[in-house]
Amino acid sequence: MIKLAILGSTGSIGQQALEVINQFPEKFELVALAAGQNIELLAEQVRQYRPKYVAVGDEKRYSDLVESVKGLDVQVMAGLSGLIEIATITEVELLLTAVVGAVGIEPTLAAIRSKKRVALANKETLVAAGSIVIPEAKKHGVAIIPVDSEHSAIFQCLEGREPSQVNKIILTASGGPFLRFKVEKLENVTVAQALKHPNWNMGGKITIDSATMFNKGLEIIEAHWLFDMEYDKIDVVIHPESIVHSLVELVDGSLIAQLGLCDMKLPIQLGLTYPERWSSSFPKLDLTKAKQLNFLEVDTNLFPAISLAYKAGRTGGCLPAIFNAANEAVVAEFLRGKIKFTQISSIVAEVMGYSLKENFSKVPSLEEILRADQWARKAALQLLAQNC
């Protein structure tokens, strides 16, 4: 039995992870569940899966959660400290970090320091704090298994290969709903248009990030840390069908790709079972139905997030955290209908520019990274207030 804790069990990845677990009830013991604020669903999950521990990220919802799991034999926790407790429970072997945002960093780091295996679906942990998290994982001999579909693909393509055999990695990107838009038309796209992803069914924040391609930007930085790959060796190619989940180019020119349906349950399952592979009854890709696979260059005028990501990644220090946090702040405003779509990247670019005057450390501690994260959120909202 794999003793598992899930951070973010009510989100899109968390719910699909539970679907994976439902297929193998005799192989997983769900020790702990945690969610940000969806108490109703969390309580329902507690009733169904009977974990020993449950936590809600939003401290104010603690008493609501206690009330809604009354009579069940479960220990209730709350706040960031609750998430960290969940991540470090002695009997837990494997932590699935599936929360969205920078809130995932500290619990994941705590799990690594407690020598838990980590299945990582939270990009921000590596984007903002890769310089801290990766050395800690090495130091504690902890494996981080990527759950993001592109990184799971690259992880599979790289398996068993020497780094000296690898020329570069190629992340595929669907291009989202605005792939064929003209730059001038982007300014007036609506929230509903941006939320209509052609292939993937995901949470709101990541769907907007796919429309701006900030998601791919975050994935570039994530790949740098996961695979110890210089930025010059990370390429992005648009692949509208999202069938090829990413590729690796070897030194002799051979391209290795991983293909599958647009179904996150596959990378989630591998993240939970690795190094084993278990046979599942989820639908499988029929190549004759895929018909065509197209590949196009990224237009960085249409998607400035890609250039910003390379800049943030190459500069390093606190800039990736600032890139991520500013984006999180402005995307929330976009989702509330407060700003234009194109302001997402322009404000992030401005915040990145201003941050150079703030003298953030080039080799930051976790505290400095988290301070830069907070600074960037405030700076983004101030710039928005000035521009509106």
* Per CB under 5 A, 148 contacts Mg ion: yes
> d(Cα 369, Cα 388) in Å, to the nearest integer?
29
* Per CB under 5 A, 29 contacts Mg ion: no
With both helix axes pointing from N to C terminus, report the angle between 319-335 and 304-315 in degrees, rounded to the nearest 10: 150
Apex 296 CA angle, 294 and 297, nearest 5: 165
Among 36, 148, 128, 191, which residue's Cα sits nearest to residue 325?
128
User: In the complex, what is the shortest distance from the CB of residue 126 to Mg ion, in angstroms, rounded to a whole number?
Assistant: 13
Among 57, 6, 10, 22, which residue's Cα sits nearest to residue 265?
22
User: In the complex, what is the shortest distance from the CB of residue 49 to Mg ion, in angstroms, rounded to a whole number?
Assistant: 26
Locate 373 and state its tokens.
Answer: 């994260």
Binding range to Mg ion, per CB under 5 A, among 22-30, 57-65, 145-153, 270-278: 145-153
Nearer to Mg ion, 108 or 174 (CB): 174
Instruction: Please list the alpha-helical segments (H only) found in the chain.
Output: 12-23, 39-49, 62-68, 79-87, 105-113, 123-139, 149-158, 183-186, 191-194, 204-212, 214-226, 265-273, 287-290, 304-315, 319-335, 341-355, 366-387
Apex 319 CA angle, 313 and 323, nearest 5: 85
> d(Cα 146, Cα 154) in Å, to the nearest integer?
9
Nearer to Mg ion, 10 or 242 (CB): 242
Q: How many residues does the chain have?
A: 388
User: Which of 85, 124, 150, 350 is close enough to bind Mg ion by CB under 5 A?
Assistant: 150
User: In the complex, what is the shortest distance from the CB of residue 307 to Mg ion, in angstroms, rounded to a whole number?
Assistant: 19
The residues pairing with 255 across neighbouring beta strands, listed in sequence order, are: 249
User: In the complex, what is the shortest distance from the CB of residue 213 to Mg ion, in angstroms, rounded to a whole number?
Assistant: 11
Binding range to Mg ion, per CB under 5 A, among 17-25, 147-155, 242-250, 310-318: 147-155
Please say whether the beta carbons of 306 and 349 come within 8 A. Answer: no
Please say whether the beta carbons of 97 and 14 come within 8 A. Answer: no
Strand 2-7 to 94-97 pairing: parallel
User: In the complex, what is the shortest distance from the CB of residue 171 to Mg ion, in angstroms, rounded to a whole number?
Assistant: 8
Nearer to Mg ion, 137 or 154 (CB): 154
Nearer to Mg ion, 45 or 156 (CB): 156
Please say whether the beta carbons of 92 and 116 come within 8 A. Answer: yes
Nearer to Mg ion, 150 or 328 (CB): 150
User: In the complex, what is the shortest distance from the CB of residue 8 to Mg ion, in angstroms, rounded to a whole number?
Assistant: 15
User: In the complex, what is the shortest distance from the CB of residue 327 to Mg ion, in angstroms, rounded to a whole number?
Assistant: 15
# residues near Mg ion by CB under 5 A: 3
Nearer to Mg ion, 68 or 172 (CB): 172
* Per CB under 5 A, 124 contacts Mg ion: no
User: In the complex, what is the shortest distance from the CB of residue 10 to Mg ion, in angstroms, rounded to a whole number?
Assistant: 20
> d(Cα 58, Cα 25) in Å, to the nearest integer?
29
Binding range to Mg ion, per CB under 5 A, among 139-147, 149-157, 251-259, 376-384: 149-157
Nearer to Mg ion, 65 or 144 (CB): 144
Binding range to Mg ion, per CB under 5 A, among 148-156, 230-238, 262-270, 287-295: 148-156
Binding range to Mg ion, per CB under 5 A, among 63-71, 94-102, 140-148, 186-194: 140-148
Radius of gyration (Cα) for the chain, nearest Å? Answer: 20
Nearer to Mg ion, 213 or 369 (CB): 213
Nearer to Mg ion, 124 or 150 (CB): 150
Q: Which residue of this chain has its Cβ atom nearest to Mg ion in the complex? A: 148
User: In the complex, what is the shortest distance from the CB of residue 266 to Mg ion, in angstroms, rounded to a whole number?
Assistant: 12
Nearer to Mg ion, 88 or 122 (CB): 122
Among 66, 73, 129, 92, which residue's Cα sits nearest to residue 7?
92
Binding site for Mg ion (CB under 5 A): 148-150
